[in-house]
């Protein structure tokens, strides 16, 4: 059989309704990792759904408890054909955000896959059950076309806590480094640039959330009696934030700004356009770093956002000088920024500008490092050529995702080149009520991944040799 046969088998898997049936079963598992009482269900998704699926594809599997107590387990599965062949690591996650049943529109529910035209509604359809189901279905299609062979080895890692910040994933990768060793990561998460355009991204921006707190005294004091005499923590904190980022969103702290954009990254972004979709907000002209395109600002630069700010009682303001003000800020940052030094950099800056009374602390335990495979890496061109051959479309290449994923685990701990091929789209309502996958995108994604896996069997060894110094 041929490459086109493998793609045809993948398309038939979609057309027959088998893919829909497989995804329906998976959506029905209430794998909400943010709920403390879901551990048994998180485990059952692996035991009852993914292990039987992977066993049928010739994998051997094991489930590993999370090294962080109270969070979901991991599945590591392997299909080994020949030690001399290339090995790909495929990653996905089976957990989802909270179902939020009350806010889904009439006729849709999070744990039942509902088809309305091209939209397939259900929690996890886009993030991430639909995406790893595409990749498993494509593997099966290539196995059928090659009569039981892939032409490469496969390792599969599925985590059940990504929506809770991937607790334990780094520790697992360090402990299982040999078991997860591979030549390349090919994974699927996040959205395409648009529904119509296949997309490849090579990493993700890093992320750290931090709190700024001005806690000046116990209790509020009447503003008529004490206003103008007592320092106002809200005023102080507002000015502290303004010293970090200006009124147009430009970062003012050198240590929070990235180095110059690499030419390979800038070149890749000339073919990219952000926004313009039916549910996309209108981009604000003049916001962010001056002199950059919108695409460079979101994919090649850092952004500092104020996520929350509170002082006094916003719902029922009283005539009192408040005692405390608190804000949560988020830095999204690209490769070249010292993510580990963000808190110290903010502390130094605030001290230098007279804001010693403002405390700085990390807001969440899990942070993400910035990663980016060089767009000139041979794996990149190989993936773009494969996708174009399967679809007749020129895929979009993003040097990194604007959002954050645990790609640092694969790029830094495991030392892998990382290729991400997403199967969702920006308006999928990911993390919101009415989450959905587009049936047309799922069908195209199955064809894309069947082509990718066929080509990996043909070209993988040559790509590995071309990367050797």
Determine the pLDDT at residue 404: 87
> Is the model's pLDDT at 303 over the cut of 70?
yes
| Region 291-311 average pLDDT | 97
Looking at the chain, the domain(s) classified CATH 3.30.70.360 span 206-258+302-362
SS3 state at 147: coil
| Region 60-65 average pLDDT | 98
| Region 112-126 average pLDDT | 98
3-state secondary structure the chain: CCHHHHHHHHHHHHHCCHHHHHHHHHHCCCCECCCHHHHHHHHHHHHHHHHHHHHHCCCEEEEECCCCCCCCCEEEEEECCCCCCCEEEEEEECCECCCCHHHCCCCCECCECEEECCEEECCCCCCCHHHHHHHHHHHHHHHHHCCCCCCCEEEEEEECCHHHCCCCHHHHHHHCCCCCCCCEEEECCCECCECCECEEECEECEEEEEEEEEECCCCCEEHHHHCCCCCCHHHHHHHHHHHHECCCCCECCHHHCCCCCCHHHHHHHCCCCCCCCCCCCCCCCCCCCCCCCHHHHHHCCCEEEEEEEEECCCCCCCCEECCEEEEEEEEEECCCCCHHHHHHHHHHHHHHCCCCCEEEEECCCCCECCEECCCCCHHHHHHHHHHHHHHCCCCEEECCECCCCCHHHHHHHCCCCEEECCCECCCCCCCCCCCEEEHHHHHHHHHHHHHHHHHHHHHHHHHHHHHCC
Determine the pLDDT at residue 365: 65
| Region 22-30 average pLDDT | 98
Is the preceding omega at residue 131 within 30 degrees of 0, hence cis?
no
Looking at the chain, the domain(s) classified CATH 3.40.630.10 span 3-204+369-467
- The pLDDT-based confidence of 334 (bands split at 50, 70, 90) is very high
Tens-digit pLDDT profile for residues 243-290: 999 999 999 999 999 999 999 999 999 999 998 777 788 999 999 999
| Region 3-32 average pLDDT | 98
Q: What rounded mean pLDDT belongs to the chain? A: 96
Tens-digit pLDDT profile for residues 169-200: 999 999 999 999 999 999 999 999 999 999 99
| Region 358-383 average pLDDT | 92
Q: Give the Cα separation of 334 and 205 in Å (integer).
A: 5
- Quickly list H helices, 232-278: 233-244, 263-269
Q: Give the Cα separation of 435 and 428 in Å (integer).
A: 6
Tens-digit pLDDT profile for residues 241-253: 999 999 999 999 9
Q: Which CATH number fits domain 206-258+302-362: 3.30.70.360, 3.30.2350.10, 3.40.50.880, 3.40.50.150?
A: 3.30.70.360
Determine the pLDDT at residue 182: 98
CATH homologous superfamily of 3-204+369-467 = Zn peptidases (3.40.630.10)
| Region 293-320 average pLDDT | 96
SS3 state at 409: helix
Burial class of residue 281, CB neighbours in 10 A (0-12, 13-18, 19+): exposed
| CB contact set of 284 (below 8 Å; sequence gap of 6+) | none
Determine the pLDDT at residue 280: 81
């Amino acid at each position: 059989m041929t490459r086109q046969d493998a793609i045809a088998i993948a398309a038939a898997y979609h057309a027959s309704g088998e893919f829909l049936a497989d995804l329906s079963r998976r959506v029905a598992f209430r794998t909400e990792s943010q709920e403390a009482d879901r551990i048994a269900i998180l485990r059952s998704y692996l035991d009852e759904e993914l292990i039987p699926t992977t066993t049928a594809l010739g994998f051997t599997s094991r489930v590993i408890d999370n090294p962080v107590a109270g969070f979901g387990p991991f599945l590591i599965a392997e299909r080994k054909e020949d030690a001399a062949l290339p090995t790909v690591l495929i990653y996905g996650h089976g957990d989802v955000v909270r179902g939020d049943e009350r806010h889904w529109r009439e006729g849709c529910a999070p744990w039942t896959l509902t088809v309305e035209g091209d939209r397939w509604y259900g929690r996890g359809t886009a993030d991430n059950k639909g995406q790893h189901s595409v990749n498993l279905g494509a593997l099966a299609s290539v196995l059928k076309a090659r009569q039981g062979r892939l032409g490469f080895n496969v390792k599969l890692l599925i985590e059940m806590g990504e929506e809770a910040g991937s607790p334990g994933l780094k520790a697992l990768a360090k402990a299982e480094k040999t078991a997860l060793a591979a030549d390349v990561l090919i994974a699927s998460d996040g959205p395409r640039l648009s529904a119509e355009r296949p997309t490849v991204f090579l990493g993700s921006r890093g992320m750290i959330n931090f709190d700024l707190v001005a806690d000046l005294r116990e209790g509020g004091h009447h503003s008529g009696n004490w206003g103008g005499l007592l320092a106002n923590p809200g005023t102080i904190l507002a000015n502290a934030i303004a010293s970090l980022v200006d009124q147009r969103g430009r970062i003012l702290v050198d240590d929070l700004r990235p180095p110059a954009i690499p030419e390979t990254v800038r070149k890749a972004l000339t073919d990219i356009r952000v926004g313009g979709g039916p549910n996309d907000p209108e981009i604000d002209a003049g916001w962010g770093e001056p002199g950059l395109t919108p695409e460079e600002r979101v994919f090649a630069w850092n952004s500092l956002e104020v996520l929350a700010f509170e002082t006094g009682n916003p719902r029922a303001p009283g005539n009192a000088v408040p005692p405390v003000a608190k804000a949560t800020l988020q830095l999204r940052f690209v490769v070249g920024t010292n993510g580990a030094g963000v808190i110290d950099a903010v502390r130094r800056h605030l001290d230098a500008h007279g804001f010693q009374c403002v405390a700085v602390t990390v807001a969440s335990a899990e942070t993400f490092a910035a990663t980016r495979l060089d767009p000139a890496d041979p794996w990149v061109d190989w993936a773009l050529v494969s996708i174009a051959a399967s679809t007749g479309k020129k895929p979009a290449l993003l040097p990194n995702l604007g959002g954050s994923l645990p790609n640092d685990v694969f790029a830094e701990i495991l030392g892998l080149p990382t290729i991400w091929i997403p199967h969702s789209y920006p308006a999928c309502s990911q993390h919101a009520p009415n989450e959905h996958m587009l049936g047309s995108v799922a069908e195209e994604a199955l064809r894309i991944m069947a082509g990718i896996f066929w080509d990996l069997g043909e070209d993988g060894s040559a790509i590995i040799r071309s990367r050797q110094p």
